[in-house]
Chain A
């Protein structure tokens, strides 16, 4: 008897879930009445959904909280790709929070197509260089940018009397055999950025030849940045690869996180034409946010010099606001003269097919 009952419960629940998921939840035509706090009342809770790499200084955030009588709750939901996927799954009718930070230009179209964000022209947006403003409908506001580049181990190349590679083309040469580790573009955001750099450089019809040649040259693949950087690279002391796909600011971060031991970076960047990919990160206000007004203020705050000058030491990327000053140790960070780029519409049309073709050519 009880078995029958429990089976029934399972089936009912399963059916319930099926109905819920199957019918696309209609988006409410009018926004729910917002519960904005009165200036003297107890602070409202503004929920910022973001990826694991998000960070901000306590005193900088406190300033925003005090000025707006709000408590900012940060929800970290995995790496950049996972955080966006979760926001999409939760849906526009039931957003996980008020603000989302961390969509990058490789996933811009997925975010805008999911129809999760409300258009908002942030204060201070006019000062931001046009190149970073990728969403013409202002649903996503650019906050920071960085470069995905190849890092090389200076000591290793010096000891081997080998010149580090200059461009992507160099990587397929015999002298660089078994020296490179890259991240899988299907699971890692720097990995995807590097794949796009190769497509931008070689063209959509030739990039697979480059990857096949890399495979023949014994390229190593890691599923994530942590494994590539810490387990496979030579300068971390554990791996045997002196060339790793990482960020242009990584060498500077090595100096920053060395307890004053290092006076110059142990690694350098391969900056040759088109070897680096520019990664721009965006923030947006969720549709149906509980506190839309505060959420918009938070976007303004993220573009303010106060927050923008905090970005380099907290997240190791560059502020989009040209008025923001960089910290001293950024003198070790190098920028490529010309970074690789692809048109957002081209990315949107081909992203999945490119990843699948890469998988076929490199992994199988």
Chain B
């Protein structure tokens, strides 16, 4: 019996780690070795440059504080919505939640102009402001830190919403009710009962958001202007045309190292904050809207959320309808025409099919590995935090650096995968895995071990314990993770350019290709393709959420 558990466990923790070792640590080691030993001797000039030049200290400082502020703002903005989605059942909930996910998969090059159209010097905001208050000065947001904050909230809102509301929905409302009966104020109940119980999942979401903001790239470059730079931006600039690998590698290591320390601090904090409790399945905690107050609360919140998240996407839709001859559907109809008879043309249906194909494989891979890893992390008494930290590292690693690593590592024996198409979902899984794990771990921590032990005492084997105790509770979290994996794969661009057979082009690649040439119709078609990507993704997400799973469990 004991032996069986330990082989099972080593298999469980071994598989995801093996994946990580082969597809993350190996290519990373390859590029670092090439960068530092490329000329035959150890070249650490990159580190010297970082330490000597005060410029890089400023970059690290800017990278850190903008990420910290963005993260706090994102949590504050998304927390009320997490409450509403956790506690109430209302019509259109699934659709609204699916829509909040859309920013996550839109390429910045497409979203940025929409932001400018709304908030720019000639944008709608300024139009309204100058008409309401005659003589009001132009609000200049583009090129400032404010538009970076806004864009970061826009992109990462859904992470906080999904991760926190999943835990919140499983909190037993009776705890709060009991406290209220004993005379506690609403605020006191929130700060002394709800918030501490939510803390692990808030921190889990915050960590992810922080890493995404810390490694922010497109938002900084396109909206922030050329003089605001994060480490990720500096790595890209150093590697692209300068090809200064020793410096790029040193910067990458600084980025990874800094994030790693933060992640370790987080995992310590998480194990300390984790409270096991009675976990309730959602349909026992959710209720329909009863009072007018509740209805107004939900309506105002949902309206605000949709306005903020959907206005930029709406601009995109509008631009997709603009043609040289006025508004119309020509951009959509033209997508399918290979007017110049080019071999590199890809029909939108093919691009969508490829995208959905890669996304499905990514979901399967990421959920399987993520579930196994989450178990290894929560079951391991010592070292679980390290496991946890390892799986987050791909998010903290510069895409350029890892991309170079893939070329180095996988274009020669023993792993000659030159131009292998399956590397695309593998790379996507690497990015999606941390989100899947983060979605599941907070919930697993909360399951009281004595429930599992009781089941085992009563004769249930480990598989049955998993199936009947853990699975019903984590299923919702697995679904959240699956959706993250799905949208990450759909929106991913950098890793996809590694594998470059045009017939395997994804939608983001096709969008970039259209934007690579001048002309009104190219731009219109790029917008049309972006809109198609949004619509298809929203439909797919709603479909995934509709999959009803047995959530009615009693303890």
Residues of A participating in the B interface, judged by any CB pair closer than 8 Å:
1-3, 5-6, 9-10, 13-18, 20-22, 24-25, 47, 52-59, 61, 73-78, 81-82, 85-86, 88-91, 93-94, 96, 110, 184-189, 192, 220-223, 225-227, 229-231, 236, 238-240, 246-247, 250, 253-254, 256-262, 313-314, 316, 352, 355-356, 359, 363-364
Contacts A2-B14, A231-B116 known; 6 new A-B pairs at CB < 8 A:
A18-B30, A18-B33, A90-B411, A227-B109, A238-B120, A257-B517
Nearest Cβ on chain A to B469's Cβ, whole angstroms: 24
Nearest Cβ on chain A to B299's Cβ, whole angstroms: 33
A238-B117 contact given A90-B407, A226-B109, CB 8 Å threshold: yes
Q: Is the beta-carbon distance between B221 and A186 smaller than 8 angstroms?
A: no
- What CA separation (Å) do A94 and B409 show in the bound complex? 11
- What CA separation (Å) do A94 and B410 show in the bound complex? 10
Q: Is the beta-carbon distance between B519 and A186 smaller than 8 angstroms?
A: no
Q: Is the beta-carbon distance between A58 and B29 smaller than 8 angstroms?
A: no
Q: Is the beta-carbon distance between B518 and A186 smaller than 8 angstroms?
A: no
- C-beta contact mask, B513-546 vs A, less than 8 Å → 1, else 0? 1011111111100000000000000000000000
Of the candidates B31, B121, B325, B383, the one whose C-beta lies within 8 Å of that of A240 is B121
Of the candidates A222, A239, A262, A364, the one whose C-beta lies within 8 Å of that of B116 is A239
Collect the chain B residues with CB atoms within 8 Å of residue A356's CB: 242
A-B pairs with lowest CB-CB distance, top 7: A257-B519, A261-B324, A221-B226, A2-B10, A14-B29, A17-B30, A21-B34
- What CA separation (Å) do A93 and B516 show in the bound complex? 32
Q: Is the beta-carbon distance between A76 and B221 smaller than 8 angstroms?
A: no
Q: Is the beta-carbon distance between A186 and B237 smaller than 8 angstroms?
A: yes
Q: Is the beta-carbon distance between A9 and B21 smaller than 8 angstroms?
A: yes
Within B479-521, the residues touching A (CB, 8 Å) are 497-498, 500-502, 512-513, 515-521
Collect the chain A residues with CB atoms within 8 Å of residue B341's CB: 57-59
Collect the chain A residues with CB atoms within 8 Å of residue B344's CB: 54-56, 74, 76
Q: Is the beta-carbon distance between B419 and A96 smaller than 8 angstroms?
A: yes
- C-beta contact mask, B18-39 vs A, less than 8 Å → 1, else 0? 1001100111011101100110
Nearest Cβ on chain B to A153's Cβ, whole angstroms: 13
Nearest Cβ on chain B to A327's Cβ, whole angstroms: 11
Q: Is the beta-carbon distance between A55 and B523 smaller than 8 angstroms?
A: no
Closest to B240 in A: A187
Q: Which of A22, A110, A231, A247 has the most CB of B within 10 A?
A: A231
Q: Is the beta-carbon distance between A258 and B519 smaller than 8 angstroms?
A: yes
Collect the chain A residues with CB atoms within 8 Å of residue B472's CB: none
- C-beta contact mask, B215-233 vs A, less than 8 Å → 1, else 0? 0000001100111010000
Q: Is the beta-carbon distance between A89 and B407 smaller than 8 angstroms?
A: yes
- What CA separation (Å) do A254 and B407 show in the bound complex? 36
Residues of B participating in the A interface, judged by any CB pair closer than 8 Å:
6, 9-10, 13-14, 17-18, 21-22, 25-27, 29-31, 33-34, 37-38, 40, 55, 109, 112-113, 116-117, 120-122, 221-222, 225-227, 229, 236-244, 323-325, 330, 338, 340-344, 380, 383, 404, 407-409, 411-412, 414, 416, 418-419, 497-498, 500-502, 512-513, 515-523
- What CA separation (Å) do A187 and B516 show in the bound complex? 15
Of the candidates A56, A88, A184, A316, the one whose C-beta lies within 8 Å of that of B517 is A316
Of the candidates B229, B241, B408, B518, the one whose C-beta lies within 8 Å of that of A253 is B518
Q: Is the beta-carbon distance between A17 and B409 smaller than 8 angstroms?
A: yes
Of the candidates B10, B21, B30, B238, the one whose C-beta lies within 8 Å of that of A21 is B30
- What CA separation (Å) do A113 and B516 show in the bound complex? 29
Collect the chain A residues with CB atoms within 8 Å of residue B340's CB: 55, 57, 313-314
Collect the chain A residues with CB atoms within 8 Å of residue B120's CB: 238, 240
Of the A-B pairs whose beta carbons lie under 8 Å apart in the complex, a sample of 23, sorted by A's number, is A2-B13, A6-B21, A13-B21, A17-B29, A17-B33, A20-B412, A21-B33, A55-B342, A74-B502, A75-B501, A85-B239, A85-B240, A90-B418, A96-B411, A220-B225, A223-B221, A223-B226, A239-B116, A240-B122, A250-B518, A253-B519, A259-B325, A314-B340
Nearest Cβ on chain B to A215's Cβ, whole angstroms: 10
- What CA separation (Å) do A363 and B515 show in the bound complex? 26
Q: Is the beta-carbon distance between B240 and A254 smaller than 8 angstroms?
A: no
Closest to B342 in A: A55
- What CA separation (Å) do A75 and B243 show in the bound complex? 21
Q: Is the beta-carbon distance between A258 and B37 smaller than 8 angstroms?
A: no
Nearest Cβ on chain A to B505's Cβ, whole angstroms: 9
- What CA separation (Å) do A15 and B251 show in the bound complex? 21
- What CA separation (Å) do A74 and B416 show in the bound complex? 19
Closest to B11 in A: A2
- What CA separation (Å) do A355 and B241 show in the bound complex? 9
Collect the chain A residues with CB atoms within 8 Å of residue B117's CB: 238
Nearest Cβ on chain B to A274's Cβ, whole angstroms: 22
A75-B416 contact given A1-B10, A226-B512, CB 8 Å threshold: no
- What CA separation (Å) do A53 and B517 show in the bound complex? 8
Collect the chain A residues with CB atoms within 8 Å of residue B513's CB: 52
Nearest Cβ on chain B to A253's Cβ, whole angstroms: 5
Q: Is the beta-carbon distance between B412 and A61 smaller than 8 angstroms?
A: no
- What CA separation (Å) do A21 and B40 show in the bound complex? 10
Of the candidates A6, A54, A85, A221, the one whose C-beta lies within 8 Å of that of B14 is A6
